[in-house]
A and B are shown apart, each in its own frame.
Chain A
């Protein structure tokens, strides 16, 4: 097995940071600026990038821990991380409750009697809050963290296997995905339905990311670098782009052969549709071919805002969810003009970057004086 390179690949932080920005933009309902995000131009969206890179970095960080300190220590660290994410999720839920209680108190309109029923859960907080603590009640936009928690809770044994028999671990993960598809496995949600991000499905991208981090990427390099793969990736992206355009321009729909339409729909996000995985792979292949690990821009001030966001992904993700709530609040309470959308989107990202910079600074302060050669903020980065 190839040794894990000691230096962190800044591309991971860069693209995770960008994914966090896109998730923020997509989470503000009816945000005009979310037209720029990738979900509008193909099948996959920023969630795939986030989950894949999270798997990659988790394997990178905890794989090293497992080699140096053994299974127990690494497993304990992974669970501690899961606990941190759980606490963050509960914190976000508290903010959500505050927002929803405000709307319930201040808004009424006979046109929206039905929709206001969504606030009914405030009448029996005993049940809803317990269900939220059990990760079964997950309000809008709060689905990613429970998925992340589940993935980390199950990660220690997977990592153990990945370090010994990486191919076997990947095959096990793919088998679980297939079984999920065949038997319809998912986790029940409250008050009804299932998890929006099915952990039995999304684990595949997470484990694949981890597999890539532990030598898989090197094994795939000749395949990814080949011109045929690149051409296929471009062709698939073009196909997905055309299909996406038929959603917005119904007049294009007749040009999509019926047999294709019948077979691709519905493109299932909950169960991570194969079309979405392929779309993510195509994006990844093109990215790896054109953005090299030693790309000079990665070391410049241009890339740093996204990189530092990617390095503090948990805090910045939570902040993004909160900012999306706040942004929507501005739309409803202050103004819903296009200019407001732009201002809210840009200042939201600016706040995310500023917070990440603050966290990097604080991390360095806590760590104490360092040898001058190490570039602050870049040496670490979380899982």
Chain B
């Protein structure tokens, strides 16, 4: 596995895609970003030198505490995008509230779109619905509705699925909701960050310890930083008009 990561890293350096500020530990999951779907609105926004992003999410899009917001992935994504897109003004708004289902977020989306007028919506969902055992059909319909609303308002969408949370894995049945997210992403041709697979890989490789009980934000902050960095890579790749992303080749 380490060799594979090294080879990947070398390839990335050769391709000139490695970002100096991206910690190496995030990069081991680089190959999981493979996604052929495009983000045309984002491409247009980058060309127009102003990219406006909205993060719509539930509890796992935030970190607790006074410094939590700055360490959570939305803030890290904004910084990463700003670095990756010199000369482009990147603004980022969040609509993040713990314990929100997909239906509630789809309801909130229309107001968000009017308020923030984003070019891109990063929509994190799946965990709360799985915890509540929400009706899978309603979950599916909420995703369809949200993506349709976003597209009608001229915004691209990226989906972000649930976290890999090993301790609660036998208590939250993510399966159905993860599958629906994947299908919706395929059907609507929107990119998805497979956060579950990424974090599982980090856990399996020992990149981050997701098991140990702690009250500190160290690991949580690093994980969120990497999620923000990877999202940035995914967004920039999907907005490149000329060629499909090279990840995992």
Q: Residues of A at under 8 Å CB distance from B?
A: 28-30, 99-100, 103, 106-119, 139-141, 184, 189, 191-194, 196, 247, 250-251, 253-254, 261-262, 265-266, 268-270, 324-325, 328, 331-332, 336
- In the bound complex, residues from chain A placing their C-beta under 8 Å from that of B60 are 112-115
> Does B223 interact with chain A (Cβ within 8 Å)?
yes
Give me 7 other A-B pairs in contact (C-beta within 8 A), A103-B167, A117-B131 excluded.
A111-B163, A112-B163, A192-B132, A247-B182, A253-B186, A262-B187, A270-B176
**Count of chain B residues with Cβ under 8 Å from any Cβ of A?**
54
Closest to B249 in A: A251
In Å, the complex CA distance between A262 and B166 comes to 33
Whether A108 contacts B133 in the complex (CB less than 8 A), given A114-B127, A115-B127, comes out as no
B170 touches A29 (CB 8 A): yes
Kindly name the residue among B137, B167, B203 whose own CB sees the greatest number of chain A CB atoms within 10 A: B167
A328 and B182 contacting across the interface, CB-CB below 8 Å: no
Task: Scan residues 155-200 of chain B and give those whose CB is less than 8 A from a CB of chain A.
Answer: 163, 165-173, 176, 179-180, 182-183, 186-187, 200
CB proximity of B168 to chain A, nearest CB, Å:
4
B127/A251 in contact, CB under 8 A: no
Interface centre among A103, A108, A115 (most CB of B within 10 A): A115
Which B191-213 residues have a C-beta within 8 angstroms of A? 200, 203-204, 210-213
- For A332, what are the chain B residues with a Cβ–Cβ distance below 8 Å? 166-167, 211
Closest chain A residue, CB of each to CB of B183: A265
Instruction: Provide a sorted-by-A list of 8 A–B residue pairs whose CB atoms are within 8 angstroms.
Output: A30-B166, A112-B167, A115-B163, A115-B165, A115-B172, A117-B99, A196-B133, A336-B211
Which applies to chain A's interface (DSSP): helix, strand, loop or mixed?
helix
Shortest beta-carbon distance, A246 to chain B, in Å? 9
CB contact between A110 and one of B65, B172, B212 (< 8 Å): that residue: B65
In the complex, are the beta carbons of A193 and B134 less than 8 A apart? yes
A338 nearest in chain B by CB position? B204
Q: How far is the CA of A139 from the CA of B132 in the complex (A)?
A: 10
Whether A189 contacts B133 by the Cβ 8 Å rule is yes
Q: A192-B133, A261-B186 are in contact. Are A115 and B168 (CB under 8 A)?
A: yes
CB-based closest 9 A-B pairs? A114-B59, A29-B169, A111-B220, A193-B133, A115-B165, A328-B170, A140-B173, A115-B168, A265-B183
Which residues of A have CB within 8 Å of B217?
Answer: 110
| B241 beta carbon closer than 8 Å to chain A | no
| Chain B residues, Cβ within 8 Å of A336 | 166, 203-204, 211
> Which of B132, B168, B187, B216 is within 8 Å of A112, CB to CB?
B168
In the bound assembly, the distance between CA atoms of A253 and B132 in angstroms comes to 31
Least CB distance from A186 to B in Å reads 8
Question: How far, in Å, is B75 (CB) from chain A's closest CB?
Answer: 15
Please indicate which of the listed interface residues B59, B186, B224 has the most CB atoms of chain A within 10 Å of its own CB. Answer: B186
Say whether B132 contacts A191, CB under 8 Å: yes
* Chain B nearest Cβ from A190, distance in angstroms: 8
- Give the number of A-B contacts (CB < 8 Å): 137
Beta-carbon nearest neighbor of A326 in chain B: B170
Min CB distance B133 to A, Å, is: 4
**Please, which residue of chain A has its CB at the minimum distance from the CB of B206?**
A336
* CB–CB A110/B186 < 8 A: no
Find chain A residues with CB under 8 A from B211 CB: 332, 336
Q: Are A250 and B35 in contact (CB under 8 A)?
A: yes
> Which residues of the other chain, A, contact B134 by a CB distance below 8 angstroms?
192-193
Bound-state CA distance A268–B171 (Å) is: 21
**Which A residue's beta carbon lies closest to that of B217?**
A110
What is the CA–CA distance of A226 and B60 in the complex, to the nearest angstrom?
Answer: 55
B170 touches A141 (CB 8 A): yes
Contact: A118 with B213, CB < 8 Å? no
Our pick among B169, B176, B216 for the contact of A328 (Cβ within 8 Å) is: B169
B213, A107: Cβ atoms closer than 8 Å: yes
Write out the residue numbers on chain B whose beta carbons fall within 8 Å of the beta carbon of A109. Answer: 167, 210, 212-214, 219-220
Q: Is the CB of B140 within 8 A of A266?
A: yes
Question: Cα distance A111–B203 when bound, in Å?
Answer: 13
Asked whether, in the complex, the Cβ of A140 is within 8 Å of the Cβ of B172, the reply is: yes
Complex contact B166–A140 (CB within 8 A): no
Interface-centre pick from A107, A109, A117, A194 (highest chain B CB count, 10 A): A109
Structural contact, B171 and A139, CB atoms closer than 8 A: yes
Distance of B132 from chain A, by nearest CB (Å): 5
Chain A residues lying within 8 Å of B171, measured Cβ to Cβ, are 100, 103, 118-119, 139-140
A108-B214, A111-B163, A114-B60 known; A103 vs B36 contact (CB < 8 Å): no
- B23 located at the interface, meaning its Cβ lies under 8 Å from any Cβ of chain A in the complex: no
Q: Is B128 an interface residue (CB 8 A)?
A: yes
Cα A328 to Cα B171 with chains together (Å): 11
Residue of chain B at shortest CB distance from A111: B220
